[in-house]
Amino acid sequence: MKRFLWIVIGVAVCLSTTHIALQVWAQSPNDRQPRMNRVGKPKISDTVKANVYADNWFTLYINGEHVAVDSIKFMPHNVVSVDILPAYPMTIAVMAKDNANSQTGMEYANTNIGDAGFILKFGDGTVTDATWKAKSFSHGPINRDTKNPKVRNLAIPENWNAIDFDDKTWGHAKEYSHQQVGPKEPFFQHDFSGARFIWTDDIELDNTVIFRHFVAAPPDGVSRPDFSNLNNIVPNSPTRWPQ
Ligand SMILES: [Ca+2]
Ligand SMILES: [Ca+2]
């Protein structure tokens, strides 16, 4: 009797193991790999162009990552045009500087009060306008006093470019016309349609300004894959060798 029981148990174990093996065999090769959020590798067609023009300089962060910096500190006025891989929601943080002596707020050997301006357009329809947050961190010469020029500086918060930085108390940017900013030639050679020049309320005396803007979803309504976690998943496109 005992022997019979052992035979029954043995057959049951065999059948169960075979069943599991058949189930695994029936799965596709992809199913046999650990379950992951699968996306293809991003192509250049997944990127959008970011066009940025600052009078005189900027540095740009998207979702806390450094994406672009103006390659020319002062003159000539240039456009920085780079490919970006957008991921939403998207937090944009920009520090922009007018050319100004840090002690006087003036330029050209303290003979001139320079004026500023900033404009940006992304290929997903993101543009600068008065909905952007703006705050000045360096102002001068105070009261336009060019005889005894002084500046007023605020400490720049260390995490000003972070996604979770609290800008609730900041005011909004002010829009300026092309006539007021007077952009130079490279501006007209790039697509800025729909974008507005922005700065704080004082485009002459506010010399260091931080802008922040939150983009909840693509303004053009185009659905795009999210590649922001690409380093932690296995893309489902075939591996090509050599890589
Ligand atoms: Ca200025
Ligand atoms: Ca300037």
The reply to whether 234 falls in a domain is no
With vertex at residue 118, the alpha carbon angle to CA 114 and CA 122, rounded to the nearest 5 degrees, is 165
Which of 165, 144, 159, 158 shows the shortest CA–CA distance to 207? 144
Is the same domain home to 148 and 28? no
The reply to whether 229 falls in a domain is no
Is the same domain home to 135 and 27? no
Q: What is the pLDDT of residue 170?
A: 98
In sequence order, the β-bridge partners of residue 167 are none
* CA 191 / ligand 2 centre spacing (Å): 21
* CA 97 / ligand 2 centre spacing (Å): 8
The reply to whether 130 falls in a domain is yes
Is the same domain home to 27 and 50? no
Q: What is the pLDDT of residue 238?
A: 53
* CA 115 / ligand 1 centre spacing (Å): 4
The reply to whether 186 falls in a domain is yes
The reply to whether 231 falls in a domain is no
Model pLDDT for residues 194-238, shown as the tens digit of each residue: 999 999 999 999 999 999 999 999 999 999 989 888 777 776 655
* CA 140 / ligand 1 centre spacing (Å): 7
* CA 226 / ligand 1 centre spacing (Å): 39
* CA 105 / ligand 1 centre spacing (Å): 6
Q: How far apart are the first and last CA of the chain?
A: 63
On whether the pTM is more than 0.85, the answer is no
Is the same domain home to 25 and 88? no
- What CA–CA distance (Å, rounded) separates 208 from 77? 17
Model pLDDT for residues 98-149, shown as the tens digit of each residue: 999 999 999 989 999 999 999 999 999 999 999 999 999 999 999 999 999 9
Is the same domain home to 97 and 20? no
The reply to whether 243 falls in a domain is no
Is the same domain home to 32 and 48? no
Model pLDDT for residues 3-35, shown as the tens digit of each residue: 655 655 555 554 555 554 444 444 444 444 444
The domain of 7 spans 2-38
Which of 126, 117, 97 shows the shortest CA–CA distance to 199? 117
Q: What is the pLDDT of residue 40?
A: 79
Q: How many domains does the chain have?
A: 2
